[in-house]
């Protein structure tokens, strides 16, 4: 019996195809734990300006004083002194793929990064633990003033722009994990799109955690000026380890007047990653923000992409999925905060639970007193594949004027015997029939992805679902 259980566990682990580990290649690594000396060591190693060190130290104090969140999964088991908060490989940032170290290049080739770049991307940023290893941007975009680099480089090369926007939407006292990121952040993505520039193809960043008990604390800062457009794609993976890794990122996006940003995430962390992320955008007059948010892996995921609809007639949309199997706790959703007049928002949330997993929707639709003639719509749908799994819908809907409206719709359903029988009568196995039902359920999300990512997502979910019937 014990042998059969071990064989099953090995099979489940092997289903996560990004769980390989190419070995440790760090050349600089701080001691375990988090304290003032560690923060000073990180900042000194990066040769940062005094204001950033001050910001980090203030953030550390806020982090130490801040309690754990009083909602969602219990995080009190986390011992923050168990983690390494900065590890750096013996490599420089390269814009030539041939110059990337062999073992790192091998990893990203297995993840499909070079192919994606060649086929349909204008720029790419690949990060290994705390440091980017490869950056490349279309030369024509550079001539037009587009900036696409990591945040450490942006702090050095574009200090005025960086300091103007850094920490303006997500303050270091926003929540415990925002404070943690603000204290130990490293790498990430910085994008600046000047007025009038509309990118015809996406930019992409890829984040890879490689070491056990390490954290990744990237910072994403995107500034899109008036009358501009950007599609940014983010991917995440990590090896499988017996102990947890910690990922606490911050994303801040500034969207100018009449501009549009789409932020597509396919988060496929291994099931030993604690994913605790703050993502927020500020949308000016007639601007539009779209979050396309896929959550497949991680042991615990707490993520609520948000739009602050500041400008009149601004719009915000979130389409998200959360997939939870055994040992996975997805607590995800979205927040739409209407401040301007005639603003519109829509949240579509799809959750799937099986093998005893938990997937909750947690969200906010807020229409302020001055946001007259505004509309918000929330759609939450959950598909539960067995009797061991769990899902809750926990919405907050608040309207503070009598000229606006919020619509909320929620459904929880199980796969019916009739659906399975109908498909199996057409010659499909029970597993194939279940997969078709699940993919149809997720279609509102997958149709928003580039083709390559939609195909990959379908494969990931099918692998996760193996053995979920019978």
Give the residue, 351 or 202, on which the prediction is more confident: 351
pLDDT at residue number 239: 41
Highest mean pLDDT pick, 244-248, 270-274, 323-327, 364-368: 364-368
Q: Residues near 425 by Cβ (< 8 Å), separated by ≥ 6?
A: none
Rounded percentage of the chain residues whose pLDDT exceeds 90 = 48
pLDDT at residue number 459: 65
The whole-angstrom separation of Cα 288 and Cα 284 is: 8
Give the residue, 214 or 291, on which the prediction is more confident: 291
pLDDT at residue number 236: 61
- Asked whether the predicted pLDDT for residue 213 surpasses 70, the reply is no
pLDDT tens across 53-95, in order?
999 999 999 999 999 999 999 999 999 999 889 877 555 555 5
Q: Tell me whether residue 77 is exposed, middle or buried, using C-beta atoms within 10 angstroms of its C-beta: 0 to 12, 13 to 18, 19 or more.
A: exposed
Rounded percentage of the chain residues whose pLDDT exceeds 70 = 75
pLDDT tens across 103-155, in order?
555 555 554 554 554 454 455 555 555 454 444 555 677 788 999 888 998 99
pLDDT tens across 421-440, in order?
878 888 888 787 887 888 78
pLDDT at residue number 425: 84
- The distance in angstroms from the start CA to the end CA of the chain is 19
The whole-angstrom separation of Cα 230 and Cα 256 is: 11
Q: Assign 373 to helix, strand or coil.
A: coil
Q: What would the two tokens of residue 9 be?
A: 């566990």
pLDDT at residue number 93: 52
Read off the pLDDT of each residue in 181-197 and give the average, rounded to a whole number.
93
The residue among 470, 452, 460, 466 whose CA lies nearest residue 204 is 452
Q: What is the dihedral of CA 135, 140, 145, 146, to 10 degrees?
A: -40
pLDDT at residue number 468: 57
Domain-wise residue ranges, the chain: 2-303, 417-470
Cβ–Cβ < 8 Å for 381, 414: no
- Asked whether the predicted pLDDT for residue 253 surpasses 60, the reply is yes
Read off the pLDDT of each residue in 158-163 and give the average, rounded to a whole number.
95
- Asked whether the predicted pLDDT for residue 31 surpasses 70, the reply is yes
- Asked whether the predicted pLDDT for residue 379 surpasses 70, the reply is yes
Q: Which helix (H) or strand (E) holds 78?
A: none
27-41, 354-368, 369-383: segment of lowest average pLDDT? 27-41
Q: Assign 286 to helix, strand or coil.
A: coil
- Asked whether the predicted pLDDT for residue 389 surpasses 60, the reply is yes
Give the residue, 370 or 89, on which the prediction is more confident: 370
The whole-angstrom separation of Cα 397 and Cα 390 is: 23
């Amino acid at each position: 019996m014990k042998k059969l259980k071990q064989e099953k566990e090995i099979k489940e682990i092997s289903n996560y195809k990004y769980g390989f580990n190419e070995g440790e290649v760090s050349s600089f690594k701080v001691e375990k734990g988090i304290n003032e000396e560690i923060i000073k060591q990180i900042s000194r190693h990066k040769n940062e300006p005094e204001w950033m060190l001050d910001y980090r130290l203030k953030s550390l104090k806020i982090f130490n004083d801040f309690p754990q969140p009083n909602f969602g999964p219990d995080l009190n088991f986390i011992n923050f002194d168990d983690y390494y908060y900065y590890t750096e490989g013996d490599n420089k940032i390269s814009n030539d793929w041939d110059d990337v170290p062999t073992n790192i290049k091998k990893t990203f080739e297995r993840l499909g990064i070079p192919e994606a770049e060649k086929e349909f991307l204008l720029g790419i940023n690949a990060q290994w633990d705390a440091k980017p290893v490869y950056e490349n941007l279309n030369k024509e975009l550079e001539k037009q003033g587009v900036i696409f680099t990591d945040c450490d480089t942006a702090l050095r090369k574009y200090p005025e722009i960086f300091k103007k926007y850094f920490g303006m939407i997500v303050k270091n006292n926003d929540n415990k994990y925002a404070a943690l990121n603000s204290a130990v952040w490293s790498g990430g993505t910085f994008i600046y799109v000047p007025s009038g520039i509309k990118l015809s193809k996406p930019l992409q960043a890829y984040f890879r955690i490689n070491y056990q008990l390490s954290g990744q604390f990237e910072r994403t800062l995107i500034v899109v000026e008036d009358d501009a457009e950007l599609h940014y794609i983010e991917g995440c993976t990590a090896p499988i380890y017996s102990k947890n890794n910690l990922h606490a990122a911050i994303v801040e996006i500034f969207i100018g007047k009449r501009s549009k940003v789409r932020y597509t995430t396919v988060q496929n962390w291994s099931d030993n990653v604690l994913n605790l992320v703050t993502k927020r955008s500020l949308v000016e007059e007639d601007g539009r923000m779209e979050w396309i948010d896929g959550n497949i892996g991680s042991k615990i995921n707490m993520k609520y992409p948000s739009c602050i609809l500041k400008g009149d007639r601004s719009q915000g949309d979130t389409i998200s999925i959360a997939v939870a199997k055994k040992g996975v706790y997805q607590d995800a959703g979205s927040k739409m905060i209407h401040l301007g007049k005639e603003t519109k928002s829509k949240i579509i949330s799809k959750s799937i639970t099986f093998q005893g997993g938990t997937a909750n929707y947690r969200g906010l639709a807020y229409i302020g007193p001055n946001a007259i003639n505004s509309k918000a719509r929330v759609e939450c749908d959950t598909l539960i594949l067995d009797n061991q799994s769990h899902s809750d819908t926990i919405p907050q809907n608040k309207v503070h004027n009598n000229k606006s409206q919020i619509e909320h719709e929620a459904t929880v359903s199980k796969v019916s015997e009739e659906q399975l029988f109908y498909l199996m009568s057409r010659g499909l196995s029970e597993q194939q029939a279940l997969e078709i039902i699940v993919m149809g359920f997720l279609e509102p999300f997958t149709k928003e992805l580039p083709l390559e990512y939609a195909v990959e997502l379908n494969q990931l979910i099918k692998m996760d679902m193996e053995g979920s019937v019978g």
